[in-house]
Amino acid sequence: MASSNMELKDRFVEYIHGLQDTICAGLEGVDGVAKFREDRWSRPEGGGGRTRVIADGAVFEKGGVNTSVVHGALPKAMQDAFGVGDSNFFACGLSLVIHPRNPHVPTVHANWRYFELYDSNKMKLDSWFGGGCDLTPYYLVEEDARHFHGVLKGLMQPFGEELYPKYKRQCDEYFTNKHRENEMRGIGGVFYDYLRPKDEAEAERLFSFQQANGNGFLEGYLPIVERRKYTEYSDAEIAWQEIRRGRYVEFNLVHDRGTLFGLKTNGRTESILMSLPPRARWVYDHKPESGSREEAMLKYYRPNDWV
């Protein structure tokens, strides 16, 4: 266990590295064939990370579970975004995206992070937590949606009854391709950002909140994978999966804050873009066949109440 004398940021780094080990082991176990490859990288301006990628497995076609710990001068683009002058920053987090092979197994994304901002004299100006988890099915069984959202609600309830509905709504609003008539990329989950601790006690509470969410990830996702990984599928279902993966790519490259932050702070491009699927397609003016399961899926790419 981390010493209480350690700084919060150091304890969070220790936590995400342990969580990375746990999640990778759980995913390898359900795949049964593929193992994660690890690349350690460093950032010239300060810090680095551990990128772990799984590929060509029995269940998982491509995925990554990455940790990064970076620091240094805040780039001008981010100064403008945060409304600050010359500043320094520290950012650490775990980010994962898993793209299964079978179109009946959903893609999943999660991220838990901590950020500190300093003035030019290295005095801390601000700090906050952020994160979330969301599910992107291509063919939905409502039982799976209720399970996933039910787990997320259960993880958050001890910290406040109001948190799950609030962060679910924020997720529905955030993980949306606004250029696609406000079409969600999946069925959402939870999303929160800029959770600023006002004092030491609140910092500990928010740290515990992050741990609860991270520790519950496998409980929310793996049972769905186990239920759906042997479902038979057709070439037509793969084509639909690839079209929806195209929407996923659009969100990540146009709207995703983490992707944009990493690229603007000279993060490792291979690690940042590991979130993209190995295959995707864009069909001009595509509309699913009337009465098809694909057309039925479109109603789920809008906010729905699951629990």
What are 38's two structure tokens? 């690890």
What pLDDT, on the 0 to 100 scale, is given for residue 2?
Answer: 45
Cβ atoms of 101 and 238 within 8 Å: the answer is: no
Strand partners, 133: 110, 190
Distance CA 216, CA 155 (A): 7
Please tell me which residue in 71, 104, 109, 149 is annotated as part of the active site: 109
Within the chain, what is the greatest distance between any pair of CA atoms? 63
Mean confidence (pLDDT) of the chain = 94
What is the set of domains in the chain, with CATH numbers? 8-300 (3.40.1500.10)
The parts of the chain modelled with pLDDT lower than 70 are 1-5
What are 16's two structure tokens? 């995400």
Distance CA 147, CA 150 (A): 5
User: What letter does residue 288 receive in the DSSP assignment?
Assistant: P
The answer, as to whether pTM is greater than 0.75, is yes
| 307 three-state secondary structure | coil
What pLDDT, on the 0 to 100 scale, is given for residue 5?
Answer: 65
109 part of the active site: yes
Residue-wise pLDDT for 122-135, tens only, equals 889 999 999 999 99
| 152 three-state secondary structure | helix
**Angle at the Cα of 232 from the Cα atoms of 226 and 235, rounded to 5 degrees:** 130
What pLDDT, on the 0 to 100 scale, is given for residue 4?
Answer: 53
